[in-house]
Structure 1
Amino acid sequence: MAFLNKTYKFVSQENFDAFLKASGVPADKIEKTLSYTPDQKIVKDGDTYNYIVSGALGTKEIKFKSGVEFDDKLGTEQTPVKSTIVVDGNTVIQTAKGSTGVATFKREYNGDDLVVTVTLDNWDGSAKRYYKAA
């Protein structure tokens, strides 16, 4: 798990606007959400992880244990969801269950690259966000 304690900076995204539309983000909020390009970092302390997201809207920290469900809020809209994050080698998969369906954020770390693939259970597509270790 060489990705632990590394900060990953946003590089680009594909199809994220379609994901936002499918997940119910209001049209007038999509542009703001697309421009939110936070850095990401995961730190481990014993069997607890701390997922840190920081950007123009501030810093959010999520403490979690792999495979244990917790209350969370997603996006610039702070939509309440039940999340489960599973750490498996160099892959970190977050499943978020909310009122608009189940979203999955699959984070795949490969050297200095991070690819986040985003899907939604009631949407045929997928979106990707790309990051590079700082």
Structure 2
Amino acid sequence: MAFNGTYELESQENFEPFMKSFGIPDDVIEKVKDIKRVTKIEQNGDHFVISVTTGDSVLRNEFTIGQESEMNSVTGQKNKTTVNLVDGKLVVDMNGIDSVTEISGDLLINVMTLNDIVYKSVSQRVA
């Protein structure tokens, strides 16, 4: 499945509890929760570059399916991990956070689970 494209956040569930679980202060969560977020995915075979822009902040990760890579987490920590492709979905465990990303039509759906907190974001393809 081709992930190439640019996607704009359409909806999210459990953002605040998920961010609080990392110790992010309430004022910071409140400030960023409604900021436009754009995800750009460049896929060339098994090689991916994913850039997530939130306001002025850009989180960029580059990896090849099945190979260990150093990646930045949502908290800014660098972790060595391996992204796998399972049933057409990008699956990774990064420092205890299970992440599954899939394409459904023009939607990019990401579900991240930490302990019993499940965060889901849905982004619409814009390009």
**TM-score class normalised by the smaller sequence:** 0.7 to 0.9
TM-score between both structures, scaled by the size of structure 2: 0.81
Q: Which runs of 4+ in 1 moved over 4 A?
A: none
TM-score between both structures, scaled by the size of structure 1: 0.78
> Unmatched 5+ residue regions in structure 1?
none
Deviation readout 1:28-57 (Å, 9 max, x if unpaired) = 322234234421232223442211223312
Q: Secondary structure at the match of 2:62?
A: strand
How far has the Cα of 1:108 moved from its partner?
Answer: 1.8
CA 1:96–1:32: 2 relative to 1, 3 Å: farther
CA contact (8 A) 2:12 2:122 kept: yes
% same residue: 29
CA 1:28–1:12: 2 relative to 1, 3 Å: same
How far has the Cα of 1:26 moved from its partner?
Answer: 3.0
How far has the Cα of 1:125 moved from its partner?
Answer: 2.5
Q: Secondary structure at the match of 1:18?
A: helix
CA 1:107–1:23: 2 relative to 1, 3 Å: same
Q: Which residue matches 1:128?
A: 120
Instruction: Work out the number of aligned pairs and report it.
Output: 126
CA distance in 1, matches of 2:36, 2:77: 18
CA distance in 2, matches of 1:29, 1:112: 30
Q: Which residue matches 1:44?
A: 43
Pair 1:104-2:98 in alignment: yes
Kindly report the root-mean-square deviation, in angstroms, between the aligned alpha carbons of the 2 structures: 2.2
> Unmatched 5+ residue regions in structure 2?
none
Deviation readout 1:63-118 (Å, 9 max, x if unpaired) = 2011222222223x423333322233531123211xxxx11221121111122111
